[in-house]
Structure 1
Amino acid sequence: MNRLDGKVAFLSGAARGIGGATAKRMVEAGAKVVIGDVLDEVGTKHAREIGATYLHLDVTQEASWVAALDATVKAHGKLDVLVNNAGIFNGKGVEEASLDDWHKLVAVNLTGVVLGTRAALPHLKKTKGNIVNLASIAGLVGSQLDPLYSLTKGGVTLFTKSTALEFGRKGYGIRVNSIHPGLIETDMGQKTFVMRAQQVGTNDTEQARKTTLGLHPIGRLGVAEDIAKGIVFLASDDASFMTGAGLVVDGGWTAH
């Protein structure tokens, strides 16, 4: 089940966190995995440890995407799976965020996904492969604390559905799905606790963590492996009848 034997997968932003856990899981599932990131030292070390390949990738630059995916195909002969995982978080409100803050969010969380999709298309059309986009529950429901981040992830959600429809209409045979994590215990998750504490006027990150935990009916926070399992499923042939779908892995948060 959820095997990726013989498949070649490229993951952006996978030097650590959810992407790093997914890369490891994909290698274990039989895929040849290439990690693209700007964290060269961390990414190289992680790739070596799990049996993957590391390439430098700036997701905001079209030429960087083209070079990385061309190198992947040159090394492994094809591309079957693209995971648009790279993303950044900004917990500032509409009034607090600067225009530069917004531009950075858009460059990574939206433009990066568009550029990755465009660069992968020529290769995925040959294999009738698939794309998994990292969205968020913040891309499904409103966020009173993170409206700008929510806006970018909402864009990823609808871009996923729209490209699934477009590629279907054009007969490409490429599936496109998104995954929607809740708050996951990664470096980005810890940053969220810090921002939450600041937003309520304290520096009590532990209380912010407890408050967030209370929003999870399942009784715990998520870990990177929880999301990695969902991504591997969407990338595998077990999800062959899924396209334009959003897989929610949030411990029940959005059930409220």
Structure 2
Amino acid sequence: MGKLDGRVVIVTGAARGQGEQEARLFAAEGARVVVADVLDEQGETLAKELGALYVHLDVGEEGDWRSAVTAAKDAYGHVDGLVNNAGILRFNALVDTPLDEFMQVVRVNQVGCFLGVRTVAPELEDGGTIVNTASYTGVTGMAAVGAYAATKHAVLGLTRVAALELAPRRIRVNAVCPGAIDTAMSNPALLDPSADREETSRALDELYRKLVPLGRIGRPEEVARLALFLTSGDSSYITGQPFVIDGGWLAGVSIV
């Protein structure tokens, strides 16, 4: 038996990267996955491969959220879980960040998470789960990612409030806080079909060798396994918590 047998889980930003690996792992563990994204071609291809349902979902649009939940219930009858994975990153010094850019990041990362919780939670079966994707930068600071860090701090606040409010229904709400992960967000070369993915990943490992105690960049499959833990019964007494997955980066600076 799989750890998610019979459960219906919506995964946002599921067409590639962490979301794709979460969708793949959840399906392998018996879940009926709703692959949600704005990348329709990639999302539909993945859903077809997994025997899953694809829905177009711009996480900043209330109507898209309502349509996604309706589609999930029409297809599977109920919803048991949500992984708020969709997110974007923009690099800029805080004082040089245009308001439009800041609000673009807020709309996807923060508003998208809020709308997901607000729309899906009332439809969840009692005992359901929500996993929000925050970040290493949601528990510390990092130069040049002010908008991103601000939204990820906000995601942790939303996670804790939702955990308290939904606890009477035994709905657990937790957050994953990845450090640098080998996805298109940290490795734009992955968006180039002609790029050697293994070579670019090795280059990133070398870059992070001195920054991260475990000596490499993280893999999306590793984040997916953490999301599985928080969605499955293995974490039955855990709610309202941030889970940092960063290879030890947050632990501190080594001088040797």
- TM-score, with normalisation over the residues of structure 1? 0.89
Q: Which residue of 2 aligns with 1:63?
A: 63
Asked whether the 8 Å contact 2:208–2:216 carries over to 1, the reply is: no
Structure 2 Cα separation of the partners of residues 191 and 141 of structure 1: 24
* 2:128 is aligned with 1:129: yes
Residue identity in the other structure for 1:172: R
Q: Deviations over 1:181-230 (max 9, x none)?
A: 110011111149xxxxxxxxxxxxx9887443321111221111010000
Q: Deviations over 1:97-141 (max 9, x none)?
A: 1111011001000000011111102211x3320100001000011
Q: Which residue of 1 aligns with 2:178?
A: 181
Q: Which residue of 2 aligns with 1:235?
A: 231
Structure 2 Cα separation of the partners of residues 32 and 211 of structure 1: 38
Q: Deviations over 1:155-202 (max 9, x none)?
A: 10111111111222xx2221000001110011111149xxxxxxxxxx
Residue identity in the other structure for 2:251: A
1:224 to 191, 206, 220: 220
Structure 2 Cα separation of the partners of residues 106 and 148 of structure 1: 7
Shift of 1:50: 2.3
Change (3 A) 1:131 1:154: same
Question: Equivalent residue of 2:79, what SS?
Answer: coil
Residue identity in the other structure for 1:182: G
Change (3 A) 1:130 1:102: same
Structure 2 Cα separation of the partners of residues 50 and 238 of structure 1: 24
Structure 2 Cα separation of the partners of residues 14 and 213 of structure 1: 28
Q: Which residue of 1 aligns with 2:243?
A: 247
* 2:7 is aligned with 1:3: no
Asked whether the 8 Å contact 2:205–2:216 carries over to 1, the reply is: no
Shift of 1:47: 1.3
Q: Which residue of 1 aligns with 2:196?
A: none
Q: Which residue of 2 aligns with 1:47?
A: 47
List alignment gaps of at least 5 residues for structure 2.
Answer: 190-201
Question: Equivalent residue of 2:34, what SS?
Answer: strand
Q: Which residue of 1 aligns with 2:169?
A: 172
Q: Deviations over 1:230-249 (max 9, x none)?
A: 00110001101000011111
Residue identity in the other structure for 1:23: A
List alignment gaps of at least 5 residues for structure 1.
Answer: 193-205
Question: Equivalent residue of 2:94, what SS?
Answer: coil
Shift of 1:2: 7.3
Change (3 A) 1:167 1:191: same
Structure 2 Cα separation of the partners of residues 119 and 150 of structure 1: 24
Structure 2 Cα separation of the partners of residues 69 and 207 of structure 1: 40
Q: Which residue of 2 aligns with 1:163?
A: 162
Structure 2 Cα separation of the partners of residues 190 and 104 of structure 1: 21
Q: Which residue of 2 aligns with 1:89?
A: 89
Structure 2 Cα separation of the partners of residues 213 and 73 of structure 1: 45
Structure 2 Cα separation of the partners of residues 211 and 91 of structure 1: 18
Output aligned runs, 1:193-232, within 5 Å.
Answer: 210-232=206-228
What root-mean-square deviation, in Å, do the aligned CA atoms of Structure 1 and Structure 2 show?
2.0
Question: Equivalent residue of 2:116, what SS?
Answer: helix
> Aligned pair count?
242
Asked whether the 8 Å contact 1:2–1:236 carries over to 2, the reply is: no
Aligned-residue identity in percent: 42
Q: Which residue of 1 aligns with 2:37?
A: 37
Q: Deviations over 1:86-106 (max 9, x none)?
A: 000011121221111011001
Q: Which residue of 2 aligns with 1:195?
A: none
Q: Which residue of 1 aligns with 2:199?
A: none
Shift of 1:40: 0.2
